[in-house]
Amino acid sequence: MSRLSNQSELIESIYDAGLHPELWGDVVVMLNAFIGSQACGLISKDPVSKSGATHYYCGVDPHYIQLYAETYARYDPLARLPRYGEVRNIPDLVNYDEYRRGRFYQEWLRPQGSVDVANVVLEQSSSPSPMLMTVIPGRKMLDAEKRARMQFLVPHVSRALLINRAIERRQRRALALADVVDRLNAGVILLDASCHIVHSNPAAQMLLRADDVLRSVAGRLVARSAAVNATLREIFRDPGEVALAAAAGRNIPLTAQDGSHYVAHVIALPSLLREAATERTSAVGALFVWKAELEGRSCSDVIDRTFELTPAELRVMQSIVDVGGVPETAAALGIAETTVKTHLHRVFAKTGVSRQADLVKLAAGFSNPLVH
């Protein structure tokens, strides 16, 4: 029962290391004890150059690890890697008498009081430098029991390493996505179920520091409008509500003290960001926030071509978005309010919207929130 218990504990520890690679150092010590070997390590080896890198090890003086990397990896008879899962020691691959006369044995292995080395390839993929488990049995050759124990460990260590690789890939993708998010000119704010800010990109941080349309109060996102606050609390109470709002293309109009308009778009938080981090995030969703303005001539041209607006209608639409309502637009353009209303009704007819707020959201959709 004690042996079974220890074996179960070892397997559990192997899979823990699959989730938390920092545990491999301790696990290798357990592997070495289970096999009953003098030394054990996880190394990656390039079968072409025969160079090797030792990632985790026990039972070997660090001086010999350095010598192996600098000099003796190229003389290692086990540089000819076997197929995945096959435990092989030196006599399996080369003439043992010739091997004993070689530099690897005479200068590296023998001074450590050892006579044999065994390897097993742990990765089935076509990796240029596959991971191996390497064992130095001790003063005797690898016997049948040690070989069997190494063979027993192969599927478990192999799967744990696959888990490591999968997590690493997702983390790299998450980091790349986070880098893109941080470069956006639009604000991105990740929120938990209580609307506490889990993360904000630089553009969002600038928006929050302005303390206008949105602000942070004790770490909680608060909108200038009480109605917007209620909407945010309703949407972000759980991931399901966020997903529904995102699927519906839910946009939340925001108005600053100076009358300028912003749009907050609800987005469902990708599982990539929720699950690939070292620690799972508490965020249930995100807001994508940008100023509702027609950014430059290129954007105006797109709107003009899409809805066939006249130059006067386009100017009125842009002013409505930039400065506000009919009186403000009339003053900004130096025309009568009745003229503004006439052009505005034509814009409504051509764009298919009936309210100024909807026109702002429509125009914002043509505005590129990315850094050019």
pLDDT tens string 96-149: 898 899 999 999 999 999 999 999 999 876 667 788 899 999 899 999 999 999
* Structure-token pair, residue 185: 């000119």
* Nearest-angstrom CA–CA distance, 184 and 201: 8
* Host domain of residue 271: 185-291
23 lies in the same domain as 152? yes
40 lies in the same domain as 81? yes
Q: Which of 261, 291, 321 is the C-terminal boundary of a domain?
A: 291
137 lies in the same domain as 193? no
8 lies in the same domain as 102? yes
For residue 196, the domain's CATH number is 3.30.450
Distance of CA 268 to CAs 66, 220, 265, 354, Å?
49, 19, 10, 28
* Structure-token pair, residue 268: 């469902």
Domain count, the chain: 3
Predicted confidence (pLDDT) per residue in 243-298, tens digit: 888 888 777 888 888 877 788 888 887 644 444 444 456 888 888 888 766 554 54
* Structure-token pair, residue 273: 């960001």
The residue with tokens 């608060």 is 222
Question: HSE of 220 in the Cβ direction (CA atoms, 13 Å)?
Answer: 11
342 near 333, Cβ under 8 Å? no
Q: Is the pLDDT of residue 204 over 80?
A: yes
- Tell me the sheet residues that pair with 42: 56, 133
Question: What pLDDT, on the 0 to 100 scale, is given for residue 160?
Answer: 93
Residue at 371 is within a domain: no
Confidence category of residue 359, pLDDT binned at 50, 70, 90: confident
112 lies in the same domain as 48? yes
Q: Is 340 helix (H, G, I), strand (E, B) or coil?
A: helix
* Nearest-angstrom CA–CA distance, 292 and 295: 9
Residue at 300 is within a domain: yes
**Torsion sign, CA atoms 81, 83, 88, 91:** negative
283 lies in the same domain as 300? no
Which residue type, as a one-letter code, is found at position 331? A
For residue 327, the domain's CATH number is 1.10.10.10
Predicted confidence (pLDDT) per residue in 36-75, tens digit: 999 999 988 876 666 778 899 999 999 999 998 888 888 8
111 lies in the same domain as 220? no
Nearest residue to 17 via CA among 122, 149, 135: 122
* Nearest-angstrom CA–CA distance, 317 and 293: 10
Nearest residue to 208 via CA among 187, 190, 227, 228: 187
Residues 6+ apart with CB under 8 A from 281: 190, 198, 199, 269, 273, 274
* Nearest-angstrom CA–CA distance, 305 and 322: 20
Q: Is 48 helix (H, G, I), strand (E, B) or coil?
A: coil
- Tell me the sheet residues that pair with 251: 265
16 lies in the same domain as 155? yes
The residue with tokens 């080395």 is 117
For residue 40, the domain's CATH number is 3.30.450.80
